[in-house]
Chains A and B, each alone.
Chain A
Amino acid sequence: MIKTQKVIMKGTKDGLLLLLDDSCSFSELLKELEEKLSGQKNDEDSRSVHVRVHTGNRILTKEQQKEIEKLVHFHHHLHIESIESNVILKEDAERMKQESEIHVVNKVVRSGQILKVMGDLLLIGDVNPGGKVVARGNIFILGALKGIAHAGCDGNEEAVICASNMNPMQLRIADCLNRAPDQDEIRRQESECAYIDENRQIIIDRLAALRSIRPNLNRFMEGGI
């Protein structure tokens, strides 16, 4: 029987790469990892080395990840930078899809209603006063925004809010907040966008300004136009 290596250590210029075999059992893997690592010297003075772990087609549970971290961190100079895998869980994939998708919703968001989506929101309809739209990504409203819009609700400060008619009660992007002035100023009619500027203030600007401020907004980078 040929004994295959279950743990392959590779030195790169960024640090150490640990390639873990994905066909053996986890306990075997741990055992061999421990053996391989014991060859390393373990004193507190040595220069710290970043370690990247790659698990191939194996998914590690949180507990298994912790065990590996424990083994590696036993050597004081080793620091795990990342644990990567070729595969992800179905639910994670589902979540990633949700987060990257543009959700098209065709309705009027009325007073007291809250519309929340994981990714970007494209609302065809109005947000009435007292209504609220929340998205992890950007918010685009083909209609009047008269209620509250919260883009990048998980902390994405790059998120923007665009509306055909921008008369919001409040705008929120990530954890910044801006409210309408108490005096009723002129009603805005044209399409506008809102974003966080370098002073961490929410700014309302012409739609055309967006292209230079958030160039990454373009989704279709290749082909087409």
Chain B
Amino acid sequence: MGEAIVITSGKGGVGKTTSSANIGTALALQGKKVCLVDTDIGLRNLDVVLGLENRIIYDLVDVAKGQCKLQQALVKDKRFEDQLYLLPAAQSSDKSAVTEEQMKKIVSELKQTFDFIIIDCPAGIEQGFQNAVAGADKAIVVTTPEVSAVRDADRIIGLLEKKPIEPPKLIINRIRTNMVKKGDMLDIDEVTNILAIELIGIIADDEEVIKASNSGEPIVLNPNSKASIAYRNIARRILGESVPLQQLETPPKGMMTKLKKFFGART
């Protein structure tokens, strides 16, 4: 029996889809069987980020309406043996084309065969959000260190607390270290203070992510990028490992700092 995790944020453009694609891929790299579900009906993106756009034949709405079998709609990622699948959203319908009951049924069916079902939630708190959350067991809230994104994340957490799921976990995305240092951007403590939920990962702003999304290759497949390591760490934390949070900046490695470290002094 697998578990279903919904990735949500409230605000648009904070990196839900990118996070879904990368967490899913990272879990697949760890040898888990993963199915990504795109619930952003009408504005699907997950297939593009994964580079699977051309292979879509059936979609979520077809499955919900019984126009095809669930197996037929699943798109397999060729980069993996039998690890990663995508259930794409429909592009021509809207959010009301699927009901919460149908989503629950589809997700519970997927849970029979997959270890993880990662549900990419649309922005907003309307029907699309309700659908995405309906079948989920856990939730991950993505935010960026901006006041508006944090405000929306707070609202979403409030809504998630009313659902029969585990307390949500938090990802802070697109942190710009130099801006945080200057005090122009909220730092991690400020965000976690307001939202008061468990932090599961922080991701530095990385141009490589955009490049990777455009080429349809999730960033986790490139092992050298910082964002890639961050996503891999999140996947490991989901699997229950305890991985320390990534250092956002490389501390200066002078003789003095080494010495201080040696003597256990706090810098």
Contacts and interface: CB of A to CB of B under 8 A. Distances in A.
Contact of A130 (B154, B159, B161): B154
Nearest to B157: A110
Interface string A166-208: 0000000000000000000000000000000000000000000
What is the interface of chain B mostly: helix, strand, loop, or mixed? helix
Contacts of A125: 196
Nearest to A107: B161
Contacts of B151: 111, 129-130
A114 to B, nearest CB: 11
What is the interface of chain A mostly: helix, strand, loop, or mixed? loop
B32 interface: no
Interface string B152-191: 1011011101000000000000000000000000000000
B265 interface: no
A126 interface: yes
Contacts of A129: 151, 154, 194
B196 A113 contact: no
A108 interface: yes
B262 to A, nearest CB: 36
B146 to A, nearest CB: 13
Given A129-B151, A130-B151, A112 B158 contact: yes
A146 B151 CA distance: 12
A128 interface: yes
Contacts of B161: 110
B16 to A, nearest CB: 18
Contacts of B196: 108, 125-126
A26 to B, nearest CB: 49
Interface in A111-134: 111-113, 125-126, 128-131
Interface of B: 151-152, 154-155, 157-159, 161, 194, 196
Given A110-B155, A126-B196, 9 more contacts: A108-B196, A110-B161, A111-B151, A111-B155, A111-B158, A112-B158, A113-B158, A128-B194, A129-B151
26 contacts: A108-B196, A110-B154, A110-B155, A110-B157, A110-B158, A110-B161, A111-B151, A111-B152, A111-B154, A111-B155, A111-B158, A112-B155, A112-B158, A112-B159, A113-B158, A125-B196, A126-B194, A126-B196, A128-B154, A129-B151, A129-B194, A130-B151, A130-B154, A131-B154, A131-B158, A146-B194
